[in-house]
Amino acid sequence: MEVLDLIKTIAPEAIKILEERYLILRTILYNQPIGRRSLSDILGFKERAVRDQVVFLRNQGLLKIDFMGMYITDEGIKTLESLNPIYNHIKGIPELEVKLKKLLNIRKVSILPGNSKDSGMVLRDMGKITSKIIKNIINNGDIVGITGGSTMAAVAEEFVPDKIKRDVIFIPARGGLGRNVETQANSIAATFAKKLGGTYRLLFVPDGLEKEALEYIIKNEDIKESLNLIDNMDMLIFGIGRADTMAKRRNLPPERVEELISRGAVAEAFGHYFDINGKEIWEYKTVGLSLNKFKKLNNVVAVAGGAEKAEAIIAIATLNENMVLITDEAAARKILKLVDNAT
Amino acid sequence: MEVLDLIKTIAPEAIKILEERYLILRTILYNQPIGRRSLSDILGFKERAVRDQVVFLRNQGLLKIDFMGMYITDEGIKTLESLNPIYNHIKGIPELEVKLKKLLNIRKVSILPGNSKDSGMVLRDMGKITSKIIKNIINNGDIVGITGGSTMAAVAEEFVPDKIKRDVIFIPARGGLGRNVETQANSIAATFAKKLGGTYRLLFVPDGLEKEALEYIIKNEDIKESLNLIDNMDMLIFGIGRADTMAKRRNLPPERVEELISRGAVAEAFGHYFDINGKEIWEYKTVGLSLNKFKKLNNVVAVAGGAEKAEAIIAIATLNENMVLITDEAAARKILKLVDNAT
DNA sequence: AGCTGCGGGACAATATCTGTCCACGCCATA
DNA sequence: TATGGCGTGGACAGATATTGTCCCGCAGCT
């Protein structure tokens, strides 16, 4: 990588070109087949520039063009993969990761360049990286908790399956939440199990039950078993949300949302609400993973991107030093900014 | 270095820029202080291009400009040094070295990019590299033979002195040859001794002596001692010449030159003439290192550059498998071409 | 004192880049 | 089977950069 730094000083133009072509190649990979115009729209590049670069990349055999649009070639994919660490280095991601890890005082931080809010590709890359990380830390015999949400759905979706059979059980970490089947913890747990080669259990507890109904439902054998598994969970993979958006999404009454916010709630994770210091403000009424159990977990993988989640990430990171965080550049830089301003 | 190959495919323009700036920086180092115009003359670049690059390099803090011309800064020297292997890689030097080593079947080949005939800088770099190599293989107690010639003079000149004291004796490998003191084996041996921290002996045997005179002179004590050292030589550092140019330089009668050439002589080294297969054609009448002794030497370092010496290098390389060859790109490519055509 | 080679300013000529057309092919849909 | 949408690739004028040159004032050298 010193080579790169050298090139930075002696041929900075090269870095620009590199970045441009990398971005184009990557965007094609994730959107193929795609046309010149939509490509320049997505990237915010001028159409003509895109066109020139595309011609170049085709000549290099990295992509193909036909009447449907542009496709990446195998060669292109290989090149793109080699380019990933280079792009990260250029963007200063490794330095950011070290800084953030220290700042949040957690086990590991992995950052994807860009903003997952603007670009679905970044979210998908976060999923890919999470997939790799999970494969590394998961052990046979583990009971693995899973939460819902669109980020977690993307992670599940981008999981790269392999042929290894794993003796692992995936289980939703909490009941409740979600009209959309795709982003429900249950479906996500199923996808994980399928791609990682394990089994899964479901946990169906409707939202907003009264206390009596909840107590009644807990007596159900299936649910009992699931709750038992949750109590013995070895690992948790979860998304982090903003308190306000999550409260609204759960259709809490406006006054309740108001109250949470006024009490300083910024983060939501597995049904609990926290202020920026990690103090629990409120717990959503359902069954599942308790805060105490969470704090004692040895393997926790949090996935969250986008600048707007910066506070939420800070809050959750205080809860467990063993946390592994996968996030994006936008969130990372916002977190640093917030903490810098605070000091 | 895979980074470089990647950049080659995805941003070849970058390589061009890199090369241009590298060459400019290097030329300034070797010619400072130098002006924009002479610089573009030497490099064969357009003056304007040089000017732009120079402005860039100054902004990067790699060179300084004052009314006398341009100088490289410390930062620039550091950058240039890091750039050396990159430039070599771009030029495909490492591959060339491997090829040539196999082809000539000798111990080691070291190639400098460029042509030492066109550019004094290449010759000087050859000297620098030779200096490094010699430092690595020289042992305490060694008796080291030295030949004359402009190449050897350059090597001696570019030798980077260090503070290590070495218990080493440098000695001219052969008597005779040379009107120019600078390029005589005697002076070169002295320079080596001074820079490497050893001692040296001289060997004065005038050119073109008759047999009787030679026999007489050998009885001299000093010369006897020197000849004895030569017989016990451990290492030889020598230049390789073309048979024709060396014959002329020695002022041999034209019919003798004709005869040598017609008998296939292409190479000259330490007073011996060889055809391309390494067969000795003739030996210049003087005293010193014999062919047999040379063939048995364990440490032989040959320095020769320029396409015109290709045949000579091929010839000499057949004589001793232990040879280490320092040459330039022009000679290396010519050698490959010659051998390819022969097969 | 006169000459040479230096950097840097200026500027017209030229090449390259940029933005925007359009023609035409293929798909999906009606 | 017509049609609208999205694709490529060709074309080209206007905007921008690059390039080749010349000149100026200055300092060192002879």
A52 contact to strand C (CB, 7 A limit): yes
Query: Which domain range does residue B13 map to?
Result: 2-90
Q: Name the least confident of A207-216, A332-341, B6-15, B235-244.
A: A207-216
Phi, psi of B85, deg, nearest 5: -65, -30
Q: Which of B2, B4, B21 is closest, CB to CB, to A10?
A: B21
How many structural domains does chain B have? 2
- What is the gyration radius of the CA atoms in chain B, in angstroms? 22
* Cβ-defined contact of A9 to B79 (cutoff 8 Å): yes
**Domain boundary, last residue among B90, B105, B135:** B90
A61 and A102 both lie in a single domain:
no
Query: Between B3, B10, B18, which is nearest A11 by CB?
Result: B18
pLDDT mean over B253-277: 91
Residues B35 and B117 in one domain: no
Query: How far, CA to CA in Å, does B127 sit from each of A211, B58, B92, B269, B329?
Result: 88, 29, 20, 18, 14
A142 and A49 within one domain: no
B43 touches strand C (CB under 7 A): no
More confident residue, B123 or A209: B123
Q: How close is the nearest chain B Cα to the Cα of A159, in Å? A: 27
Taking alpha carbons only, the member of B333, B330, B332 closest to residue B116 is: B330
Asked if pLDDT for residue B37 goes beyond 60, the answer is: yes
| Angle of CA points B88, B52, B91, to nearest 5° | 10
Q: What is the pLDDT of residue A181?
A: 64
Domain of A49, CATH number, reads 1.10.10.10
CATH number at residue A102: 3.40.50.1360
Nearest to B282 by CA among B291, B270, B274, B293: B274
Same domain, A221 and A151: yes
Calculate the average pLDDT of chain B: 88
Q: What is the mean pLDDT for each group of 10 consecutive residues in chain A (343 residues)?
A: 84 86 88 82 84 87 84 89 90 90 94 88 91 91 91 89 88 73 82 90 76 78 85 94 88 86 92 92 81 93 95 95 95 92 75
Q: What global pTM score does this model have? A: 0.75
Is-contact B148 B184, C-beta < 8 A?
Answer: yes
Give the residue, B69 or B262, on which the prediction is more confident. B262
Q: Do residues A99 and A128 both lie within one domain?
A: yes
* Cα angle value A147/A149/A151 (rounded, 5°): 105
- Is strand D less than 7 A from the beta carbon of A31? no
Cα A327 to Cα B320: distance, rounded to the nearest angstrom = 62
What is the rounded average pLDDT of the residues B231-243?
94
- Whether residues A62 and A160 share a domain: the answer is no
Report the pLDDT averaged over residues B293-306. Answer: 95
A18/B14 CB distance under 8 A? yes
Please indicate, yes or no, whether residues A57 and A192 belong to a single structural domain of this protein. Answer: no
Distance CA B107, CA B128 (A): 19
Which residue(s) pair with B241 in the sheet? B268
Residues B178/B147, Cβ–Cβ less than 8 Å: no
Residue of B nearest to A24 (CA): B10
Distances (CA, A) of A186 to A200, A255, B31, B109, B202: 9, 30, 73, 65, 91
Q: Give CA–CA dist A15/A7, Å, rounded.
A: 8
Please tell me which of the candidates B10, B17, B86 has its beta carbon nearest to residue A3: B86
Tokens, residue B267 = 């190479």
Same domain, B61 and B124: no
Highest average pLDDT, of A198-212, B33-47, B265-279, comes from: B265-279
Do residues A140 and A10 both lie within one domain?
no
- The answer to whether A3 contacts B3, with C-beta atoms less than 8 Å apart, is yes
Q: Tell me the Cα Rg of chain A.
A: 22
Omega cis (within 30) before B33: yes
Mean pLDDT of B187-193: 90
Per-residue model confidence as pLDDT tens digits over B304-329: 999 999 999 999 999 999 999 999 99
- Under 8 Å between Cβ of B42 and A54: no
Give the number of other Cβ atoms within 10 Å of residue A262's Cβ.
Answer: 8
Find the Å distance, CA of residue B336 to C1' of nucleotide D16. 46
Query: What pLDDT, on the 0 to 100 scale, is given for residue A286?
Result: 76
Q: What residues in B contact A86, CB-CB < 8 Å?
A: 3, 6
Instruction: State whether B51 and B32 are in the same domain.
Output: yes
Of the three residues A90, A121, A145, the one that is the final residue of a domain is: A90
Q: Are A25 and A83 in contact (CB under 8 A)?
A: yes
Contact between residue B147 and residue B241 where contact means Cβ atoms under 8 Å apart: no
Cβ of residue A57 lies below 7 Å from strand D:
no
pLDDT of residue A288: 83
Residues B85 and B97 grouped into a single domain? no
Q: Which of A49, A66, A90 is the last residue of a domain?
A: A90
How far is it, in rounded angstroms, from Cα B75 to Cα B81? 10
Task: Report which of A96, A131, A128 is spatially closest to residue A111, judged by C-alpha positions.
Answer: A96
**β-bridge pairing A241-242 and B299-303:** unpaired
CA B23 remoteness from chain centre? 20
What pLDDT is recorded for position A275? 93
Q: How far is the CA of B47 from the C1' of D28 (A)?
A: 23
Cβ-Cβ contacts under 8 Å, A11 against chain B: 14, 17-18, 21
Cβ pairs A/B, distance under 8 A: 62
CA-CA distance, A278 to A295, in Å (whole number)?
11
Nucleotide showing the shortest C1' distance to residue B58 CA: C7
CA B142, chain centre distance (Å)? 21
Alpha-carbon torsion angle B157, B162, B164, B167, nearest 10 = 0
Q: How many CA atoms lie within 13 A of A201 on its CB side?
A: 22
Which nucleotide across the nucleic acid strands is nearest to A34, CA versus C1'?
D7
Q: Please tell me whether residues A78 and A148 are part of one structural domain.
A: no
How far apart CA A287 and CA A330 sit, in angstroms, is 33
